[in-house]
Structure 1
């Protein structure tokens, strides 16, 4: 009972981070966070050209409607992965695979 008591209240941000760091399905949850952040991170123009964004073996797989956009996204894949990993504060994306 004593281990849950604290002399001072902990900020909610710290308590939530501590919980998430110890959460057994943390990686799966952060993958879901990345999927929900995709449109916001890549912007409206790229988001409109992508579909079926999902994970396969640690890689983020993105299907593109137009082959010209495939090349555009392929060139930007490292910066997109970096921004998404930074938003979830962990290296979740190993590589972005772009398919048309």
Structure 2
């Protein structure tokens, strides 16, 4: 608790990071953040072709409607995972699993 008391002001980003580091459900919160930024990270076109995005054992599972898009997303899965992990400042996604 002493970390939160200080005579000098902290930037909001730093204070929020300190709070989240101690938050008991941090992993669940970060997973929710990944789901909420999916469309703006991958783009509207890919987001329109995906549905039922969820986590299973640390893997992000993405269902696609079309086999061609399944192949496209499968080829980009490592770069997509890196972008998502970078945006939330934590390695939450171990791997992206693409299913049709």
Return the TM-score normalized by structure 1.
Answer: 0.93
Name the counterpart of 1:83. Answer: 83
Name the counterpart of 2:23. Answer: 23
Name the counterpart of 1:74. Answer: 74
Q: CA deviation at 1:7?
A: 1.8
4+ long deviations beyond 4 Å: none
Larger radius of gyration: 1
CA RMSD of the aligned region, Å? 1.0
Unpaired runs of 5+ residues, structure 2, are: none
Q: CA deviation at 1:74?
A: 0.2
Name the counterpart of 2:60. Answer: 60
Residues 36 and 5 of structure 1, relative CA distance in 2, 3 Å threshold: closer
Name the counterpart of 2:34. Answer: 34
Name the counterpart of 1:47. Answer: 47
Distance in 2 (alpha carbons) for counterparts of 1:5 and 1:84: 32
Number of positions where the alignment pairs a residue of Structure 1 with one of Structure 2:
98
Unpaired runs of 5+ residues, structure 1, are: none
